[in-house]
Each structure stands twice: as C-alpha cells, then as structure tokens.
Chain A
C-alpha cells in the first residue's frame, strides 16, 4: 500500500508586515536587500516582535481545516546553519511539550476521502539564495534577505494519500481554501509550496524536497512510488532518507547524508513569551471566518438555481466569487454567473490580466440588466465585456461606440431574412436535401445585423419561412 504525506508552506501574503518586524510581508518587487531591518537580518541586540495579525491568520487556517487550537502556544528555535537564515536559527513552532503549535488534528475532505491534518504551525521564511548559473556549478551565491521573516504557515498532513492524483486534487482544494480565507495569494510565485513524503508497503519513509511546483510534486511522487516499487520487486531495501527532486532530469536523487543527520537542537524561544489563546479569541475568529467555498456553492445552487458546475467554478475562485457577490441581485444572479463563467473567464485567465482588468462589479450588473431587458444580445454582451475589461468605459459608451445596441425585433429580423433568401438562392435551393444549410443562413443574418439579432429567434423564423 502506498502512503503519501504532504508538508505545505503557505506565505501569509495578505498581511502588511513580516512575522517579527515592520518590513513588508510581500517582499516581491523590491531591489535585493532593501525590504529589511535590524530585526529580520538578525542584527546583534534585535529582538522579535510577534505580529498579532499573523497569529490570527494562522488560527483562521487552523479553524478552516477543523484543527484543535490549544489554549496556549509557544515558539521554538530550530537551529541550523544556512546562508539564507540570518540568525542561523529559524523561529518556528514545535510540539515538544504536547501540542503547542497553532493547530493540530484537523481534517479535510477530498472527493469523499478524509485527509487528516497533523499540525499547523506559524514560522518565519528564510531569505533567498540566488545562484549565478546552476546551483551545482556556480562560483558565486548571492543572498537576498527581503523574504527573511515573511510569515509562513506550515500545514503537515498525515500520510493519508494513496495516489499522486489525490495529492493534486487535495492541493487544488487547499489552494482555493487558502485564497478564499483571504490569507494568501496563490498566484504569487512561491506563495504556496509543497514537499511530500512517500512510503510503500509499510516501509521506510522517503522525504522529497526541492519541488518547485505542484505539477512537479505530482510527478516527483509518481517517480518515487515507481522507484520504491522497483526496488521492492528486486528485494533491495528502501532507505529512510531525504531525496531532492532534480527538476531537469525529472527524477529524485539522494540528498547528501549530512542533511539527514541534521540535529536542530529545538528549544523554547525565550524572546517570545507563551501566547494565551482565550476560547473567546477563537470564538470571535470563528465568527469572522469568511464563508466557505462549499457553503457558497450550495447557496448559489439553492437560492439562484445556478447549475451545479457553474456554481462550482464560481465559488472555488475567490476573484470570480467576489465579483459575483458584489454585483448580483435576486433577478440577475443567474445571468451574472453565466457572464462570469462563460465569457469573462477567457479575458482574465492570468494574474496579470486580473490586475490590469478595468472591470467593476457595476459593469457586470449593467451588462446583466441589458441582456435581461433585451437591450443587447449575448453575443454583443461578450464583445462589450472584452472592451470593458480593456478600457473600463461605461456600458452605454461602449454600446454606442461599437454600435452594439438596437436589438433587431422579429419584424426587423424578418426583413433581413427576406434579403438573405433573395441573395443566397443556391443555399435556399439546397436546403431540402441538406437541412444544416440553415445554419449558414443564420450566419448571414447575424452578419447583416452585426450580431444584434438573437440567433435562436433567427433560426426559428428562418425555419418557418423555409418550411423546414
């Protein structure tokens, strides 16, 4: 039997400041070593100042994953030498005296399977090493401490996964959940990272490190299962070890033995006193919890009769669900859900496009209203939407600029149909033998009306006119 466990690191990118100092939590876009201060580079005499907001976010994650939150928590020092670690120890959490990390014993459901969460802990991210060329051959390694001290939540699962596919499904659900909680922005590079461990047939556990994407993690886990199975088939013992994912060759390779023997000499961080988490504190957080994805989904389906698949897409992406929540009312909900999940998705499929998009929730309500009141066809609405995303202009402006208004009513459509029948004699003659030719005629009508005729009405009218 295959057992897979995960360690997920989630940066709390939505926070203003780092875990122990006032520097920016989102270090991206700074010149190297400019988002730093005496605390996060560990200058002599500096002391950590615990960011209370980070505690809150870590507690939120714990609650969302149905973890127990202990009455008091503590911080520990994990001692090891590495150039990206300014103090040469990391302030993290550790359950040396019973559970004193932020959360423990949680659970998350994926496709009917329960994955147990062992522990959730709050810790600081180290800085970053930048190699000149490849890391194996480089002569020069540069250190950027901008990231050092960024608040990080580590989520450790029990080895409850049985296949790489389950790992992928879990990670997708988890990422949506973290985004929905408003704690992290998964699109930011390195914001959510995962390592895995694999064992087969109750044998030794192998840790896989250095995996840069979820896609690669799935591959690495798959490779590791295959590797272990082939060893087992030949009766070669599987060693308890840490293996590095080789991104280029797409295989795992044994890490240097030094790393396995690492002794972190954990002990209590005396600079941060125990934090008492009053039951009231946790209750209040529970009240402030954003609505969960599944609850949103159910609400969309039940209250607005939005089809299940649409509701699923809408609820699991915070960007879409936020837009929806801000623009819907009882009348237009279905239409707005439709616009978002059929048309908008194509225009804002990357982080950059989302950031650049000029679309507001007001635009969406206007657009839905225009469709419902027949001021504009769905076709034209799509054209208008694209223009809105790019320019942010008002719908009325766009309708007049692009001449999208004046939907053709039945009699107007009939007039155009007569023109088309006159012009397309050959097609009309073929229609008895090849009924699908009617679509060609619909296209002609649409062209003449610049898409402002309703295609389904046009089709009906054409059919009755031609007696098919």
Chain B
C-alpha cells in the first residue's frame, strides 16, 4: 500500500474496498514516527485518529452515510483552531492555548468525515517564509533536509510532500501557502479573498489572508475547496460562491485562453527558475493558450506596501496577547498593567517582535502619511493596475518564488533579503485575487513551482489552468 496517493485515489480505494481508513491512518502514523523527528512537520498529533478511522470504517461497512472524505487524514496548520486541541501559532505566547471551538473549515471537514491527523509547524503567527521563526524549531524540506521547506505553512507542505497525510490546510497572507508548496513540490492554492471562511484562523493580517488547500494534485485541491468554501455567518467577509463545483470540468484545458506573463516577476530572477518559467510558457502555448507579456509597475512597491500593511494589522491583531485571559504561567505580583504586558510580550520571537514594533510605528500619528497611508495607496494602485490587465487577459502567470529553495540558516539573519523572496506572491493577497502554485520542475533536486493568478471568483478557471499545466509534467517522487 502506498501512502503517496492523491485524495481522489484514496476515496476510490476506500469505496472499492481496497483500503480501510484505519489501515491507511496507521501506516501514516508509522511513517510520521519514522521521519518526522527529522522533518518536524508536526507540532502535535491527534491521539484519537486511529479510533476515529475505526468508527468511520464501521459506518462504511454498515453502509451508513459517510462524508466524502471517508476518513482521509488531513493535517492543519497550527494557526487554525481545532476544538479541544492546542493551537499554538508556533508561538510561546500561545503554547497552552486550547481552542474551545472549531474553525469553520474544520467544522466542514469533520462533517465530511475527514480526520484531523495533527497540527503542523509554522513561522510564529505565520510571519516568515521558512518556518525558521517557529518557536518550536524549523521544519525541513523533504527533498533535501538541509534546505528550508518554505513558509509560513512549511509544516503543512512538508506533511503533504513527505506523505505524512493526504492533504493539508494552510493560510496564505503573502504567499504562505504557495511559497512552501513551491519549495516542497506540492499544489498550494490561495483562493479569492472571502471565498473561504477565516473564522477560527488566528488573524495575522486579516484584510488580505485566506485559508487554502495544500495537496498532492490540482484535483485534490478542487476537491478540498468544494468542502471548505462558501458563505459563513461567522465571517462577515465571506462571499456566496453559489456552491460552484470546482472539481467538475477540471480538465477543460486552456485552449483559446489569454495568459499574461508578469514581466516584473520574471526579470532578474534565478536562471533555473527563469528557464522553468519559459518552459511553462511554451507548455501553455502548446496547449493552445495565447501568451502575452504584461507589466504591473506597482509590483516594484508591492513588498514595501505589503510589509507596512501587514505590520499595521499584526500590531493590532496581536495586541490581545497580553497574557491576561489565557496564556502561560506568569507571576502577577508587583506589576502594573503596562509593565505586565511589556514583560508578557517578551515571549514573542524576533520576527513577530520586529513586525509589532513596525506595526506600532507605521500607522502612528505623524508617520501614517509617510508609511501606512502610502502603502494603502500602492495597494489601491496595484489593484487598479491588475484589474486593467485582467480586462485583456484571462490569467496571469509567474514563478511562485523568484529563487530556488535555500539552506536553513542562510537568510534567517537578513530580514530584508527574506522579505524580498515574497515579491511574486504578495500581489495576489494585496489585490484579493485567487492564485495557485503548481509543481513544475525539479532542478538539481530542488523543486520549482509556477504560479497562476485569476480574476476574483474565477477560482475554477485558475484550477483548470493549473490542472492543464500539471498534466504536462512528470515529476519524481520525494526522495524520503
């Protein structure tokens, strides 16, 4: 029995009686036990998973109604609340926070009989793109354990890539799903802003982030999106998608579609990534798409705008971690409120601290005009620009990350260099567009992903194009 099967295949195997949920999950746990000490995809595991699988098998046998996931093991980034489960956000500040409720996406997955197998590692509060800022140590890239897996949903990407689960949910604020998907050679999707409920996702920069599926195939991604998307009364920002079926017609192809290559995201990048991008372009041409080079001038300022806006929102979203209502043991004696929270907040790691300080500064009176308000202007201009471009093309492509995966420790002390790795991914977040990363090549043993962006609420078209590109590839199995 192979653990390297897609979600779709898993469903078929269970339905055909070739596999039981218990068998599969037990094998998965064996593999986790064997490899995860090294890879560190998981922060915690579900002790009841095998029992849950057993119950689902029983119900399948008794021909009862069972949800479409049929006991499929799914891992969850540890900034998404799962009831009665520790949800740490990769931070010491929440090391003992046990969520008293399920995020909407978790409620939906459970209703479809998915099994939450464990919670995955991330950069503290999803701030970072290597998992090196996790308070619990970094995850490692299964393609080469000396390399970073990308982030912030690095643990999720590793768990899927290394066959420690079938699929995962991550969150994407500026590329946190797509970047590790690219680095670990899996499919990662950031849907249109508002397509998936954020209720239960611990906010970092709430105006631009989305939960997204991380899977082995594009079909799997559409399968999960069918489950988790849609209007949610608990999240006022969700949009009614009229129950679109993202899986149907997934092989519609791209013939006759107009695709733009974003020149600002393809110039001056790593040469291997550049050549992979050119290959992707010719594949799309072969599939009958019409390719045009387009320009988004505001991309140059997008990273600066992104970090200013996210710092501002993070400064506000993380202000609640004053250790008053929940948190860690801390002597109350002798502190007045302000000095108490100052001391409590010393438990934040370096990257969060950096962004909190930035977040206190850039929107403050006297500085907002120079930083925060300017960042909002860039965001608006970028949105106008990309909307104009989308009048002429159906889709946009670019490499997901302009460079290859790098080694652990290589950039951790250079925050600005790290920030710039986000240049190709933040545009989708700032403008609310759907964007997917598809595994495309392995160069010298390191994965390269191609990114496809679409118009808002045209997530289905993005998935169809991604599926078409995926079919042109023949990538090796992960060497672990």
A residues at B contact (CB < 8 Å): 38, 41-50, 77, 79, 81-83, 86-89, 143, 145, 263, 265-268, 270-273
Distance of A142 from chain B, by nearest CB (Å): 11
Q: Are B316 and A89 in contact (CB under 8 A)?
A: yes
Q: Are A42 and B320 in contact (CB under 8 A)?
A: yes
Residues of A within 8 A of B202 (CB): 44-45
B319 at the interface (CB under 8 A from A): yes
Q: Which of A42, A43, A82, A265 sits near B312, CB closer than 8 Å?
A: A265
Give the distance in Å from the alpha carbon of A50 to the alpha carbon of B87 in the complex: 26
B301 at the interface (CB under 8 A from A): no
Q: Which of B89, B234, B322, B368 sits near A44, CB closer than 8 Å?
A: B89
Residues of B within 8 A of A86 (CB): 320, 325
Give the distance in Å from the alpha carbon of A272 to the alpha carbon of B206 in the complex: 10
Residue on A nearest B88 in the bound complex, by CB: A44
Distance of A400 from chain B, by nearest CB (Å): 58
Total residues of chain B contacting the partner, CB 8 A = 43
**Can you list 11 A-B contacts with CB-CB less than 8 angstroms, sorted by A residue number?**
A44-B94, A44-B97, A46-B200, A49-B233, A77-B316, A81-B319, A143-B324, A263-B365, A265-B364, A270-B206, A271-B206
Distance of A50 from chain B, by nearest CB (Å): 6
Residue on A nearest B200 in the bound complex, by CB: A45
Residue on B nearest A271 in the bound complex, by CB: B206
Q: Are B320 and A45 in contact (CB under 8 A)?
A: no
Give the distance in Å from the alpha carbon of A268 to the alpha carbon of B376 in the complex: 11
Q: Are B234 and A47 in contact (CB under 8 A)?
A: yes
Distance of A401 from chain B, by nearest CB (Å): 56
Give the distance in Å from the alpha carbon of A38 to the alpha carbon of B312 in the complex: 23
Binary interface profile of B, 84-100, with partner A (CB < 8 Å = 1, else 0)?
Answer: 00010100001001011
Distance of B174 from chain A, by nearest CB (Å): 15
Give the distance in Å from the alpha carbon of A124 to the alpha carbon of B94 in the complex: 26
Distance of A359 from chain B, by nearest CB (Å): 42
Residue on A nearest B365 in the bound complex, by CB: A263
Residues of B within 8 A of A265 (CB): 312, 315-316, 360, 363-365, 368
Give the distance in Å from the alpha carbon of A462 to the alpha carbon of B235 in the complex: 81
Q: Are A267 and B312 in contact (CB under 8 A)?
A: yes
Known: A44-B202, A143-B324. A273 touches B99 (CB 8 A): no
How would you classify the secondary structure of chain A's contact residues: helix, strand, loop or mixed? Answer: loop
Residues of A within 8 A of B236 (CB): 47-50, 271-273
Give the distance in Å from the alpha carbon of A79 to the alpha carbon of B87 in the complex: 25
Known: A45-B103, A47-B199, A49-B233. A83 touches B324 (CB 8 A): yes
Q: Which of B208, B234, B368 sits near A49, CB closer than 8 Å?
A: B234
From 184 to 238 in chain B, residues with beta carbon under 8 angstroms from any chain A beta carbon are 198-203, 206-208, 233-237
Q: Are A46 and B365 in contact (CB under 8 A)?
A: no
Binary interface profile of B, 322-338, with partner A (CB < 8 Å = 1, else 0)?
Answer: 10111000000000011
Residues of A within 8 A of B198 (CB): 47
Distance of B198 from chain A, by nearest CB (Å): 6
Distance of B373 from chain A, by nearest CB (Å): 9
Q: 13 extra interchain contacts, Cβ-Cβ under 8 A, other than A45-B203, A47-B199, A79-B315?
A: A41-B325, A44-B320, A45-B101, A45-B201, A49-B233, A49-B234, A79-B319, A81-B319, A82-B337, A83-B337, A88-B319, A88-B320, A265-B315
Give the distance in Å from the alpha carbon of A46 to the alpha carbon of B313 in the complex: 15
Q: Are B324 and A44 in contact (CB under 8 A)?
A: no
Known: A44-B81, A89-B319, A265-B315. A81 touches B337 (CB 8 A): yes
Nearest 9 CB-CB pairs, A to B? A270-B207, A88-B319, A45-B81, A44-B202, A45-B200, A265-B363, A87-B320, A263-B365, A45-B202
Distance of A232 from chain B, by nearest CB (Å): 30
Residues of B within 8 A of A47 (CB): 198-199, 203, 234-236
Known: A88-B322, A263-B364, A265-B364. A38 touches B315 (CB 8 A): no
From 66 to 108 in chain B, residues with beta carbon under 8 angstroms from any chain A beta carbon are 80-81, 87, 89, 94, 97, 99-101, 103
Give the distance in Å from the alpha carbon of A449 to the alpha carbon of B379 in the complex: 88
Give the distance in Å from the alpha carbon of A154 to the alpha carbon of B364 in the complex: 24
Distance of B206 from chain A, by nearest CB (Å): 5
Residues of A within 8 A of B338 (CB): 81
Give the distance in Å from the alpha carbon of A82 to the alpha carbon of B326 in the complex: 16
Residues of A within 8 A of B200 (CB): 45-46
Q: Which of A45, A89, A143 sits near B99, CB closer than 8 Å?
A: A45
Give the distance in Å from the alpha carbon of A41 to the alpha carbon of B200 in the complex: 14
- With most chain A CB atoms within 10 A of its CB, the pick from B89, B201, B316, B324 is B316
Give the distance in Å from the alpha carbon of A82 to the alpha carbon of B336 in the complex: 11
Residues of A within 8 A of B201 (CB): 45
Give the distance in Å from the alpha carbon of A77 to the alpha carbon of B101 in the complex: 25
Q: Which of B312, B313, B322 sits near A81, CB closer than 8 Å?
A: B322
Residue on A nearest B326 in the bound complex, by CB: A43
Give the distance in Å from the alpha carbon of A270 to the alpha carbon of B198 in the complex: 12
Q: Are B89 and A79 in contact (CB under 8 A)?
A: no
Residues of A within 8 A of B101 (CB): 38, 45
From 361 to 385 in chain B, residues with beta carbon under 8 angstroms from any chain A beta carbon are 363-365, 368, 372
B341 at the interface (CB under 8 A from A): yes
Distance of A456 from chain B, by nearest CB (Å): 67
Q: Are A45 and B207 in contact (CB under 8 A)?
A: no
Give the distance in Å from the alpha carbon of A143 to the alpha carbon of B324 in the complex: 10
Residues of A within 8 A of B208 (CB): 270
Residues of A within 8 A of B372 (CB): 267
Give the distance in Å from the alpha carbon of A266 to the alpha carbon of B315 in the complex: 12
Residues of B within 8 A of A41 (CB): 325
Give the distance in Å from the alpha carbon of A270 to the alpha carbon of B103 in the complex: 18
Residues of B within 8 A of A87 (CB): 319-320
From 333 to 360 in chain B, residues with beta carbon under 8 angstroms from any chain A beta carbon are 337-338, 341, 360
